[in-house]
Amino acid sequence: MTERQFLIVDDDPTFCAVLARALKRRHFNVMVAHDGESAEALVREHRFHFATLDMRLEGPSGLTLIPTLKQLQPDMQLLVLTGYASIATTVEAIKLGADNYLPKPADTQQILAALGYSEDTSGQQNHSQAPIPEQPMSVSRLEWEHIQKVLTEHQGNISATARALGMHRRTLQRKLAKYPVKR
């Protein structure tokens, strides 16, 4: 039952912090790596049961790390996480040994579920009392998260963000005006 060593490999400090906190609250032992090298180093030194890997690390695509990590610890559940998801990379990732793949605006629930860590998700029985609610994350919430992320990625440039999102600038404006900030 001590199987709670969790590794987060992501170059976005905010994301890491948020996820790490959420996991710790769930009694996981979390370690973080911001790039491929340190990730590999950590995996060589410690044992992990779960890991999330972002595909967009500075150096080589996170994709190349998959075989390495998986080889070092075959029984570790490896989840590839990315904001730049695509069918093609999904196929690649799974073939390379990833256990699952999620497009990025994903909450802790989904991440754990994708890692096969059931505490009340999809699985079945297990009731006792789920301290963690659990619901798929509404479409609008997801949209909001995503927009915020892309927005900051473009330093708050609305036009650029709208373009990147394939959404009309006016629409983005309206959306942003709607829910000011927060939430």
Partner DNA sequence: AGTGCCTGCGACAAACTGCCGCACCCGCAG
Partner DNA sequence: CTGCGGGTGCGGCAGTTTGTCGCAGGCACT
Amino acid 39 reads A
Q: Closer to a copy of itself at the Cβ: 31 or 54?
A: 54
Does residue 159 touch DNA according to CB under 7 A?
A: yes
Query: Which one of 11, 22, 26, 103 is in contact with a copy of itself (CB under 8 A)?
Result: 103
Which stretch, 20-28, 41-49, 120-128, 158-166, contacts DNA (CB under 7 A)?
158-166
* CA-atom Rg of the chain in angstroms: 17
Q: What are phi and psi of 99, to 5 degrees?
A: -90, -20
Q: Which stretch binds a copy of itself (CB under 8 A): 23-31, 44-52, 70-78, 91-99?
A: 91-99
Q: Are 149 and 138 in contact (CB under 8 A)?
A: no
- The footprint of a copy of itself on residues 113-172 (CB under 8 A) is 122, 130-143, 145-147, 150, 153, 164-167
Q: Across-strand partners of 7?
A: 31, 51
CB nearer DNA, residue 16 or residue 176: 176
- CA separation for the pair 125, 149 (Å, rounded): 36
Tokens of 50: 């779960």
Of the candidate residues 37, 137, 157, 164, the single one contacting DNA (CB under 7 A):
157
